[in-house]
């Protein structure tokens, strides 16, 4: 019998530099994988797919990110800062009854 791997949506106050943001995301996702979680991270999942200048693309990316969040069991807040995007993710998670925690909150627990 296989066990279901819990899905964890990864959010943070991402760096404005996309290269730095992706490196941060990879680090956070690796830590979650090591703890037995399946990370769902839009920064990595949608990299290079949506145009940054197109408002329609931004809207679709936001909709798809929200869908991933609603399908997750956990919202994992990474880093020490919160911006409006993180606060929006928290509000969506609470409404969808997704558990909200920090990366430190899942390290060492299963």
Whether 43 maps to a domain, the answer reads: yes
Whether 47 maps to a domain, the answer reads: yes
Whether 65 maps to a domain, the answer reads: yes
Q: Which CATH number does the domain housing residue 23 bear?
A: 3.40.50.450
Domain residue limits at 50: 7-106
Domain count, the chain: 1
Whether 62 maps to a domain, the answer reads: yes
The residue-averaged pLDDT of 72-97 equals 96
Whether 101 maps to a domain, the answer reads: yes
The residue-averaged pLDDT of 78-104 equals 95
pTM for the predicted model, two decimal places: 0.90
Q: What percent of the chain has pLDDT over 70?
A: 94
Whether 1 maps to a domain, the answer reads: no
The answer to whether 86 and 10 have CB atoms below 8 angstroms apart is no
The residue-averaged pLDDT of 29-49 equals 92
104 — phi, psi (to 5°)?
-65, -30
């Amino acid at each position: 019998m296989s066990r279901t791997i819990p899905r964890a949506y990864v959010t943070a106050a991402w760096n404005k530099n996309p290269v730095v943001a992706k490196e941060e995301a990879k680090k956070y996702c690796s830590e979650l994988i090591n703890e037995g979680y399946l990370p769902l991270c839009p920064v990595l999942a949608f990299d290079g797919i949506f145009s940054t200048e197109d408002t329609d693309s931004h809207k679709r990316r936001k909709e798809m990110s929200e869908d991933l969040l609603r399908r997750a069991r956990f919202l994992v807040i990474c880093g020490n800062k919160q911006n409006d995007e993180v606060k929006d993710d928290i509000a969506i998670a609470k409404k969808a009854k997704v558990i909200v925690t920090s990366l430190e909150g899942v390290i060492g627990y299963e």
